[in-house]
A and B are shown apart, each in its own frame.
Chain A
Amino acid sequence: MIAALGKYAGAVLWSYAASIALILALVGLSLWRAAKVRRALQAVENRQARDE
């Protein structure tokens, strides 16, 4: 099926590769930051609960 792309194969494949890479990077960074902030908040909440 990729062979059916003909002379525009490069343009089509690069478009898909670049877009999917950008979306995955955005999703990955969003999940990474979400996990990091959630862990940090949990640690502070636990610490403050212990101290009170």
Chain B
Amino acid sequence: MSLWEYANPKKFMQASGLVLPWVTGLATLLLIIGLIWGFFFTPEAVNFGSSVKIIYLHVPAALMAINAWLMMLVASLIWLVRRHHVSALAARAAAPVGVTMTLIALVTGAIWGQPMWGTWWAWDPRLTSFLILFLFYLGYIALWQAIEDPDTAADLTSILCLVGSVFAILSRYAVNFWNQGLHQGASLSLDKETNVADVYYLPLLVCIAGFVLLFLSLVLLRTRTEIRARRLQALLARERAA
């Protein structure tokens, strides 16, 4: 069986209908466990005090903000190359989820930055590239809304997605590229020296898994809605033509 079979809307609706309740249930469970573990059962950090608990929201949200755009990039490329409507609709469905993740990362970062850095905002490479990514998300959503013909909208938003991918990658590696600004390096790393301590690491992994599954669950739900909305438009157009 080929993966491309799921580009068929009917097949996608069948498969996603089976998977969605399990993904949603697991996402809810992991988020509840991870956030309770992180909030109630982790100690204060020597240098950050209890503000370290914000990591359980900030890091997974920032990770998903970038990964959501990369998922949209893959879906957009599939649309541009193979013209599968489901992939264009999946990219459209992911954008509001991605923008919410970006907003969570920006808001929790600002709330954390105020007591730690003494400012809500700084024009730091990572913060700035994240703000630009947020604006790209808003532009992407607005472009889908602004164009009536769905195929033209899919084409133009796919191009916008390709351009925005530069900032998605930049926001991930901004700290490494410029090596300046307030934002510290990655909290998660394969290098034991730079990784967060185990006591924070395990609940953080659970929260990240929860956010990944939440993203997947919402994208499946929203893609299903977009497919139904497309069918609704087609049926109404047929009615009008008759």
Contact = CB atoms under 8 A, between A and B. Distances in A.
Q: Do A and B bind each other?
A: yes
Interface in A28-50: 29-31, 33-34, 37-38, 40-41, 44-45, 48
Nearest to B53: A12
Nearest to A34: B225
Interface residues of A, number: 31
Interface residues of B, number: 38
Of the candidates A4, A27, A31, the one having the most CB atoms from chain B within 10 angstroms of its own CB is A27
B107 A18 contact: yes
Contacts of A8: 48-51, 115
A9 B228 contact: no
Interface string A5-26: 1111101101110110011011
Contacts of A19: 57, 61, 104, 107-108
B235 interface: yes
Report whether over half of chain A's contact residues are helix, strand or loop; otherwise say mixed.
helix
Report whether over half of chain B's contact residues are helix, strand or loop; otherwise say mixed.
helix
Contacts of B111: 11, 14-15, 18
A15 B221 contact: no
A27 B232 contact: no
A30 B200 CA distance: 32
Contact of B232 (A4, A23, A33, A40): A40
A32 to B, nearest CB: 10
Interface of A: 1, 4-9, 11-12, 14-16, 18-19, 22-23, 25-27, 29-31, 33-34, 37-38, 40-41, 44-45, 48
Interface of B: 35, 39-40, 44, 48-51, 53-54, 57-58, 61, 96-97, 100, 103-104, 107-108, 111-112, 114-115, 214, 218, 221-222, 224-225, 228-229, 231-232, 235-236, 238-239
